[in-house]
Structures are given as C-alpha cells and as structure tokens.
Amino acid sequence: MANKKIYELEYQVNASPKLLYNYLSTISGLSEWFADDINSRGDEMEFIWDDDTRATAHIIAKKQGAFIRFKWEGDIDSDAFFEMKIQIDELTKDVSLIITDFAEENEMEDAVQLWNAQISKLLQVLGS
C-alpha cells in the first residue's frame, strides 16, 4: 500500500435503512448529495462537480440494503477504496452510516471535513 491510511467515520441517521441505501447506491440518490451530476455505465460511475471536476469510480462490491464499495479509477494505491455501510443497532434499532475511506496522512483532516460536509447534505436531503 502507498502512503494512504484507512479511516472510518460514523454518522447517526434518522431514516430507514432501505431509504438510506437508495441514496447511497442509485444515480438519482447520489446526485442529490454526493455529486452535482453522475453518468453511469454498468458498475462505472463518473461523478461531476461544478460542471468541470470529474472523477470515475467503479463499484467493486455491494450488498443490497447493507453497503456499497467504490474504487476511484486511476488510484495507484491498489488497496484503497471508499465504502458506505449501513449499520443497525440490534437493541435500539438506531441506524448508522459508516464511511470507510483512505487518505494520505497530510490530507486526512481535509478528507474528514469533506465527508462531514457531504454527509451533512445527505442528512438534510433525508430530513434527518
């Protein structure tokens, strides 16, 4: 693995797991909070921000209602990915969104802030 370190973030979500999964795994759901526009071809998604910033990611694993994992195209770190996983507390039935991602140590704070901003948008869309 290159210089990237894995990190995990957890967010409480007041929404059903089924609804949340739709926002994590569909073009229409992701385009409401993750990117301004999305083009998709099979398991390949091109994310577009501000009409000119583009990045392509491939879905490398998913389980309906549970998680989706992407790998950025051109990422030289062969082990790096980002994953959005739904976790349900067995006792309280509280729903959490677990983000797993990789970043270089000197970019970790910015990466966490970016996820915080993105998840804040998601929670607004969900009314959570």
pLDDT of 1 strictly over 70: no
Does residue 31 carry a pLDDT above 80?
Answer: yes
Q: How far apart are CA 96 and CA 17, in angstroms?
A: 9
Q: Distances in Å between the alpha carbon of 116 and those of 11, 44, 52?
A: 9, 25, 23
Q: With 70 as the cut, is the pLDDT of residue 2 above it? A: no
Q: What percent of the chain has pLDDT over 90?
A: 87
Domains, in order of start, for the chain: 4-126 (3.30.530.20)
Arithmetic mean of pLDDT, 99-124:
96
The predicted model scores a pTM of 0.91
In angstroms, the CA 61 to CA 57 distance is 12
84-106 per-position pLDDT tens digit: 999 999 999 999 999 999 999 99
**Where residue 52 falls among pLDDT bands split at 50, 70, 90?**
confident
